[in-house]
Structure formats: structure tokens, C-alpha cells
Amino acid sequence: EVQLLESGGGLVQRGGSLRLSCAASGFTFSTYAMSWVRQAPGKGLEWVSSISGGGGSTNYADSVKGRFTTSRDNAKKALYLHMSSLRVEDTAVYYCAKSGGAHGDYEYWGQGSRVTVSS
């Protein structure tokens, strides 16, 4: 059974930093691209970042480029999102998601980690 478990969320002041983790199990982690998708309170879904299975390729939304860094440790089956220079508008639930494969869908999602940036 595929499981994705996020951790590391919390309350942080504007300009601060936070690192989210996503622990994966139930599949061959290194084979799949992984993504972060966020959802601001009462709003829709917004893609944040993706990383290839080997970790050599990453992509970021313009809204977080230069401030967020996605990495992975395939030996630990873990995905990370390091967030810095946080803004109030980064307040959201952050989900890690496993790619389904060739079609780019998000086949499985974690339960989400809430990040609140205070002013």
C-alpha cells in the first residue's frame, strides 16, 4: 500500500524558513517523480515543485522560485521541501504527491502539512 506522510509544518514568521518532509512507502521510490502541491485556505490547488526520480531535475512555480528548494533522499525514501524567505501568501496546506507515470497525473497524495506564515 502506497503511503505518503508529510511532517514539518507549523507557524513561522514572515521571512523565516521551514523544511517539510514526506516519508514514502509501498512503492519503489526512486522510480517516480514526486511533486509538492499546495492549497491556501479556502482556495484551489497550486502546483509548487517537482523533482525527477533520480533527483537530478527540479522545477518550480514562479511564485516560489529562488525561495524554495525540493530535494529527495532515495535511500531514505524521503522527499523534502526547504522553504525560505516565507511570505504570508505561502500560508497553505502542502501536499506531497507521487507521479502516476507517463501522463503526469498525481496518483497518490499525502495527508498534507499545514504551514502558516504570520506577519
Partner 1 sequence: DIQMTQSPSSLSASVGDRVSITCRASQTINIYLNWYQQKPGEAPKLLIYAASSLQSGVPSRFSGTGSGTDFTLTISSLQPEDFATYYCHQSYTAPPTFGQGTKVEI
Please give the Cα distance from 60 to 30 (Å, whole number): 20
- Cβ 44 vs Cβ 104: under 8 Å: no
Using CA atoms, how far residue 23 sits from 30, 89, 92, 118, in Å, is 13, 26, 19, 27
CB of 23 to partner 1, least distance (A): 15
Answer yes or no whether residue 45 interacts with partner 1 by CB under 8 A.
Answer: yes
Out of 79, 92, 106, 117, point to the residue binding partner 1 (CB under 8 A). 106
Out of 52, 112, 114, 116, point to the residue binding partner 1 (CB under 8 A). 112
When the beta carbons of 16 and 89 are compared against partner 1, the nearer one is 89
Question: Count residues contacting partner 1 (CB under 8 A)?
Answer: 22
